[in-house]
Every structure is written in C-alpha cells, then in structure tokens.
Amino acid sequence: MGEPPDCGLQQLMSPHHRAGVRVFPDEVQHPGVQVLDAAEVELSFVAALAEEMNCTGMSRGGRGRRRLGVGGVDGPLSDQRLRACDSLRHESVGERVAARRGSGRVGGQWLEEDGPHPFPRHVYVFISAPLNSADLREIGRERERESERESFTIFPSTRSKKFTRVIPFGLPLMGLLMLMYASSILYLVFIVWRKIDQRRDKDCYILDYQCYKPTDDRMLDTGFCGELIRRTKNLGLLEYKFLLKAIVSSGIGEQTYGPRMVFAGREANPSLADGLVEMDEFFHDSVQKLLDRSGIAPSQIDVLVVNVSMLACIPSLSARIINRYKLRHDVKVFNLTGMGCSASLISVDIVRNVFKSYKNANALLVTSESLSSNWYCGNDRSMILSNCLFRSGGCVMLLTNNRALKGRAMFKLKCLVRTHHGARDESYGCCLQKEDDKGLPGFHLGKTLPKAATRAFIDNLKEIAPKILPARELLRYGAMTLVRKMRQGSAKLSGPRPAMDFRTGVDHFCIHTGGKAVIDGIGANLQLSEHDLEPARMTLHRFGNTSASSLWYVLAYMEAKRRLKRGNRVFMISFGAGFKCNSCLWEVVRDLGNEEEGKGNVWEDCIESYPSKNLVNPFMEKYGWINQEEPSTFNTDSLLRYN
C-alpha cells in the first residue's frame, strides 16, 4: 500500500490561512504507520510540526519565532535535524515525520491564535525507523502521483478512505458561497410557499344561502289571475286566447307569488315606492335569516354585491342594505342592474375576482327582481308574455375564502364561464325593456329569442366542456366527430350528430327556469333524463321564473331531497338579456340535507308533495271555454261567471 499523501500543512500555517485545520481519520493500515488513540498516545505528528515551526524561525535569523502552546517534548531533538530544517521546509508533513529519528512524547495540545484546536480521535504516527535510498525514491514517486491527482481535484474526496487529509475550513470565499446558496434556497422555498398560500386563499366557497318565500297573501292562484286579466281593459278576445295558451304551456302552478301592488289594484300605475317596498320585504326577511343561521355578524361582511335588473334608485339598493344592517365603511360594494336572468352567476364571478385580491374575506350576494315597476298592462303579445312567466322571489348567499370557515362551507366553485353575444344585433334585441306604441312600459321577448339562446348556449358549452368533462369523454367525442366527417364526404349524413355526455363529469344540473320550453330544450341538447330535469320542472311549477334567483331554488330542491353528497359536482346554467349565457360548476364540500340544515330551506313545508304527478295547469279547465268564443259575441264580463 502507498504512503499517506502530502497534507500541505506548511501552507495551512501561512499568515493567510489561520482559520484552522481538520485532520480526517484513516482506517487503512500502512507499513511503518500505527493508528493511535489520542487518549492513549500523544502525537509525534505534533512534534514534527513543532520542529518545522522552530526550524522556520531559525532559518529566518530568529525573527518571528514563537511557541504555539506545545507542551514538553520527551526525547532529544538531534542537532543534525535542526541543521536540516531549511532542506525540509518544502517537504510534506508525512515526509518530515518519516524523517524524524527517535521517538518522543508530546503533551498538551496545539494552539493557534484563535484558540485551541482539539486533537482528532485517530491520526497517523510514524514509528521511527531508518529509511534507505529505495524508501526515499518510493516516497518521491508517491508524492508525484499524489500531485497529479490533486491537480484534477478541487475538493478532497469524501468517498475514498485510503489516506488522511488536512482540509482548511472557514475560508471567507467559501463562507460567502455557502451564504449565497443558502439564501437562494430559502428564497425559492419562500416563493413556492407564497404561491401555494395565495392559491389556497383564492378559492370561493358558499358558506350558506337563503331563498326568499313571500307571504301567502301574495300568492297568484287561478282565480286571482282571472280577475287580474279581466281588469286589464286593453285586452281583447285574441289576447285572452294567447294568454290562456301561454299560461297553460308555461309549466307554472297555482302557488307562485306576485308583487303586492297587483293585489292592491295599482298594476296600471305603479310607483317607485311599490318597487322599494317589494325589495325591502325581501331584504329584511332573507338577509336577516341568513346572518342569524350562519353566525356571521354584519360587521364581518367585506364585500356586498346586489343585482336587481329592473329597478334602479338613488341611493342604490345596496346602500339600503348597508344602512339597514350598518355594514362597515370600508365594505366593497357592487350594485348591478340590467343584467337579466344571468345576473346571479355574474355576481358570483365578481366575488371570485375580489377574493383573488383579499384574503379571509366574507361576501354577501343578494339577487332578486322587481316586478312592480314592470308589470305590463298593454296588449302587445311580446310583452304580455312576461306577466305569465315572471314571479316574485330572491336569494341571499354568503360566500367566503376564509380558511377558518372552509370546514363549514357547502359548495366550492370549480370554474365559471361567461358568454356575451351583445355584438350581434339579433341577440341584442331579442330580450329588452321598452315601451309599447301607447307608451306603456314592459319587458319585450322577441321571436328570435330561441335562436339567440341556442347560439349562446353552444358557445358557452364549447368553452366550459374541456374544464368539467374527463379526458376520456373528450377523446370519445373527438373521435366520433372525426369519423362522421370522414364518412360524410360531399354528401350529408342523416341521423343525430355526436354529442358530449355531460353526465360523465356532472352529477346534478341546475337549469334556469325560464319556461317549460327552455328546460325541454336544454334537456334535449345535453341528453338529460327526467331525473336530471326534475328539480328545474318542480321549481318552475312551485315558484315560477324568479329571474336570476331561480337557480338557487333549483339547488334548494336538490338539498331538500338529500341528493347532494360530498364530492358531487353541480352544473349551473342560466340565460340573460344581452344576450348572455353563463355557467359554472360547484363541488359539494359535505353531505347536505340533514334535519338541522333543512329547517331554513324554502322547500321545507312542501317537499313531501314533490315531484308532483300532475303538472297540468288548471287554467285550461277553468278558462278553456275562451277558445270557443267568437270576437263578435265575446264580452269580458263573461270572465266573472268563472271567478
């Protein structure tokens, strides 16, 4: 086995490297070398070091000579070795120890200027033995080989344990590099943690929601609707027949609710006060119930979003809520008007975007519609239709991104897509508020509405489908579409086109209750079953079209039926004037529908009677005789016979 390599100790003791040395142990046996324990044998190695330093001082004329705290040396140091100090100055420590003749004991410890340096546990100590010329040549060759290896090595090897090394530590450059590396790693860890933390706080949760149920004295049953129609003097027999057909085919039942002013007989001359009273009843009932049940104080509300499309007042409706519940002065307020039946999801999108900038925030979302100021009393069929479809209602939601409240949340927003076709004239004019030829205000529903809704619906699905459907369904649809195009060639193929199966990525469907035709059309396009359409049909029958809040009545039906289980995905889709189509996907965070949560559900007192087996509107049975009347003999007083 070869000699131990040169440790370069002489360089370590230069004035520029006084930080210290470390001696690494070596377990390899070598001829002439003995591994000694520091507790048993003091170091001949240190004696050789003392000789070197003493010789260095003598060779410089005695200048700079100093003792390094070495204890007494047992054994004489020969004059011949002292005279040979200058020749040994450039040799390795290993060679100087090997050149030492005689044996000695060194007590104490080697000290540097900065303090004591403890002995290593094991070091090499050469047993004194005479060296011949062959040994010296072997030592020289070993030193040359070691120099070649060191020329290719920056740091000493930590894998090989075949020799002992003395390595400097604490150098300023190395310390600076280590500080830079550590700082870079810590900064990277901080950036990753901040990204994760920010993303976690951007989630939007529904903490609770409350749908509005007006009082029973505002219920529009069949008898009162007949009286209301009779009071409208502008209507003739043709308009009566149209109304009868529209009401019968609308899917609306007898337990829907209307504005209070129609029961007072002021529908022909509504006032601003009528609209404000209608909204105040909703605000005071639903907002208070939601805050009481959730345990959230008004002072904890950070964001307020109110959407009522057809009523604008000064101060705004949002200001009325702030004044009523004394919200904080720094609450972020958004008051939306004119957004139509899709305003609810637009409000959710606003809250989601606000949550990206504010952590641990709570948002109160209020959605409703005012019918008082837009009840139509003319004879334009496109505007009479709104009286047959729209009913009073509303919903209040409490949303949050607060970590402490996530465990109480009901739903988590996964994605939301908004589509707006206002740039198309046909879509823009199919649904708007206007006055008729006689100056009577109302809401116009044009004949191009179905076409505009279909176009917006398709564009919206194209964008949201890749976000909510699994990859296998997207691949299946793409493959079927490609095969159909290849087979088609120049001739058109008969039969249905390939369609995506949305039930592969969605468990429940909340469809806007715009009317029976709307529900049927969406069900046909998405290939939904009657079980999927049941919540929307029952909501339309019980509450009618409550505009932007209708989606939440559908959701409440699912909750009352205990359909919503943890991990289920709920797909919402709505349409609005403009023309707009908005959709979103919610994930159920926990099982819903237990008795405690069901106490505040708007379906609480009637869910057992649904789904209703008979959805036939009683208007046909009571007023079907109108279809047999002739214009020349018809008299509006005939309606009194059936009231």
Cβ-contact 69, 110 below 8 angstroms = yes
The tokens describing 342, both together, are 């899709």
85 has catalytic annotation: no
Active-site hit among 379, 401, 545, 601: 545
Considering the candidates 341, 395, 431, 581, report the single residue annotated as catalytic: 341
Find how far residue 129's CA is from the centre of its chain.
77
Number of other CB atoms surrounding residue 379 within 10 Å = 19
* Amino acid found at 425: D
CA distance 318 to 306: 6
Q: Is 219 helix (H, G, I), strand (E, B) or coil?
A: strand
Out of 420, 421, 431, 510, the active site residue is: 420
DSSP string, 124-161: EEEPP----HHHHHHHHHHHHHHHHHHHT-SS--SS--
Pairing of strands 205-211, 411-420: antiparallel
- Among the listed residues 374, 387, 541, 584, the single catalytic one is 541
Residue 541 designated active-site: yes
508 catalytic? Reply is yes
239 neighbors 379 (Cβ within 8 angstroms): yes
Closest CA to 559 of 505, 526, 511, 510: 510
Sign of the four-CA dihedral 129, 132, 136, 142: negative
Q: Are 527 and 550 in contact (CB under 8 A)?
A: no
In angstroms, the CA 453 to CA 436 distance is 24
Element of type H or E holding 535: helix 530-543
DSSP conformation letters of 439-483: S-EEEEE-TTHHHHHHHHHHHHHHHHHHHHS-HHHHHHHHHHHHH
In eight-state DSSP terms, residue 340 is G
Cβ-contact 153, 8 below 8 angstroms: no
3-state secondary structure 224-242: HHHHHHHHCCCCCHHHHHH
The three-state secondary structure class of 346 is helix
Q: Is 421 a catalytic residue?
A: no
Query: Which stretch of DSSP H or E encloses residue 333?
Result: strand 332-336
CB atoms closer than 10 angstroms to residue 72: 9
Q: Which of 512, 568, 584, 617 is catalytic?
A: 512
CA distance 562 to 611: 14
Catalytic site residue 211? no
The radius of gyration of the chain from alpha carbons, rounded to an integer in Å, stands at: 45
Residue 122 falls in the annotated catalytic set? no
- The single residue listed with the structure tokens 């000064």 is 314
Of 292, 284, 304, nearest to 363 by C-alpha is 304
Amino acid at 32: G
Element (H, E) at 181: helix 172-201
Question: Which of 508, 581, 584, 617 is the catalytic position?
Answer: 508
DSSP 34-95: EEEETTT---HHHHHHHHHHHHHHHHTTTTT----SEEEEESPPPHHHHHTHHHHTTS-HHH
The residues assigned a catalytic role are 341, 420, 508, 512, 541, 545
